[in-house]
Amino acid sequence: MSDGPDLSHFVQHRQLDAYEQGMARQTYAYGVDLRRSHWLASSSLGNPLVRAVDRAWPTLAGHLMPEAFVPANQPGQPTTELLAELTTLMQLLRAPLPTVRLLRPDQRGRWPLVTPLGATRGGALWLVLDGEGLLALDPSVRAFLIGSGLGHLHCDHGVYFTAHLLAGRREGNAGTRMVRSLMSPWTGVLAFSADRAGMLCCGSLERAVAVIEDPPVPVGVGAAEAEPSWWPRMASTSERVRALHEFARSAVFARLLALRARQREQAMVAEAGPSFAGPAGSMKLDELEDTIVDVEAPANDRPLEPVPNQYVPEQAWSLARVDARLTARLGLL
């Protein structure tokens, strides 16, 4: 009998992880979006159709790798910082582990800064990053973009992006083009969940709204707009911004702010020693030092100032209320 790795143990853990990740996305994602994705991925009618993308995936991946992407572990890629940040955001959302691909230098500008791609139900989840472009951004903007990309993968949106990409390429056939045209009900709502994930990661409504209204455009050969021509048509900017404003009133977002406030408060008594000053609420090291110095100054021998947003307000909206308002506004069933 082999004393090698016990794969059944890992199979069970994978299944448990998938269950936990499913639970986690329900805590923030837009319910209508989740239901539609679930139907498409698992119904006996929708699934065979969307599996057309799955069948085209290996060929697509085989073509994309040499022409546009490099693996994240390619030597010379300055990705450690980016991957460490990605890990933190992944843990925050409880999102699945993506396969990271980085854009080749000659492809910069032809792809968005973050592109989620994949087949159905977690078989393959790719997060394509413009590493240099992302590292040049403000950390909170970067967190929003990566968070929103992770949100798309978390909510099984990768297949929609792949279907649209396929439809615009030679791998695309009549089936995928039909899938694309049939997908508008799904792509019309998928931005809301991803925007929420992005806002949770950057932790600021203002910054999230700013990114949606004025998205950063990657600089490169084919750069013109933030999104390429094959990108799915999503909900309007005004609708997305309004939806985010409502989500910002939810208990989910308030809980995140409270968590950060608690971290700040803990840092004030030097209990926290963050090793990664990421944008997702980790205490900045200089802020930590300032608070310690402030607390210890003899002249400031006073009770600690209460940190704002430390608790979830009682009047915070439930996620169901936020979803219901959005559904009513969109006129969906």
Partner 1 sequence: MPDQLAGLHDELPLTPLGRLTDASRRLAALARELGHDELAKTITEDTRRRLDDGRVRVVVLGEIKHGKSSLINALLGAALLPVGVTPTTGAVVAIRVDPDRQAARTGTFMLHPDGSRDPLERERFDALARGRRVPIELAGRPIEPAANQGQGENEPESESEGIPELLVDSDQLPATIEVIDTPGFNDIAKFRAAISRSELPRADVLVLVLDATQVLSRSELALIRDALAAVGGLGGSIQDSGARCELVINRIDLVPEDERPRIVAHLREQLDGVIPGDLEPFLTNAKLALREPSDPSPAVQAVAALRAKLFGLAGEGKQILPARARSAMLRSARLLGYNAAIQARALHLERETIAEEISAVEHSMADQTRDLELVRKQILDSSAQIRTASEQRQAAFRRELEEAAKLQISKADLHNLTQVMPGAIQDAFLEFVHGESERLRGELDELTREVFATHGELARRRLYAATLPLGFRGPGLYVEPPAIFIEVGMLALGLVGTILWYFGNAMTGMIMTIASPITTVILREKTVRDARVQAVRVLPDALDAAAAQLGGAVGQAIATHGQGLDEHLMLADRALGDQLVASLLGAARRLDVHEAKLEAIAARRPPVIEAASNTGEGATPPLVSPELPAEVATRRLHERVAAAAQAELGRLEQQHGELITELEALELAGEDRGTDGPAVLH
Q: Is 259 helix (H, G, I), strand (E, B) or coil?
A: helix
DSSP, res 226: S
- For residues 60 and 169, the answer to whether their CB atoms sit within 8 Å is yes
| 174 contacts partner 1 (rule: CB under 8 A) | no
| 10 contacts partner 1 (rule: CB under 8 A) | yes
CB of 313 to partner 1, least distance (A): 14
Cα(142)–Cα(2) distance, integer angstroms: 46
| Through-space distance between the first and last CA atoms of the chain, rounded to whole angstroms | 56
If binding means CB under 8 A, how many residues of this protein chain bind partner 1? Answer: 77
Phi and psi angles of residue 99, each rounded to the nearest 5 degrees, phi first: -90, 120
CB of 173 to partner 1, least distance (A): 11
Map the footprint of partner 1 across residues 205-224, applying CB under 8 A. 214, 216-219, 223
DSSP, res 242: H
Characterize the bridge pairing of strands 125-129 and 69-71. unpaired
Handedness of CA 201, 207, 209, 212 (dihedral sign): negative
- Sole binder of partner 1 in the list 23, 221, 269, 320 (CB under 8 A): 269
What's the maximum distance between 2 C-alpha atoms anywhere in the chain?
Answer: 75
x/- string (CB under 8 A) for partner 1, residues 49-68?
Answer: --xx-xx-xx--x-------
Stated length of the chain = 333
Two tokens at 165?
């990409």
Map the footprint of partner 1 across residues 95-124, applying CB under 8 A. 97-100, 113, 121-124
Residue (36 or 108) nearer to partner 1, CB: 108
Cα(255)–Cα(184) distance, integer angstroms: 33
CB of 87 to partner 1, least distance (A): 8
| Range in contact with partner 1 (rule: CB under 8 A) among 93-101, 232-240, 249-257, 313-321 | 93-101
| 13 contacts partner 1 (rule: CB under 8 A) | yes
CB of 333 to partner 1, least distance (A): 25
CB of 174 to partner 1, least distance (A): 12
Map the footprint of partner 1 across residues 180-209, applying CB under 8 A. none
- Sole binder of partner 1 in the list 15, 91, 173, 238 (CB under 8 A): 15
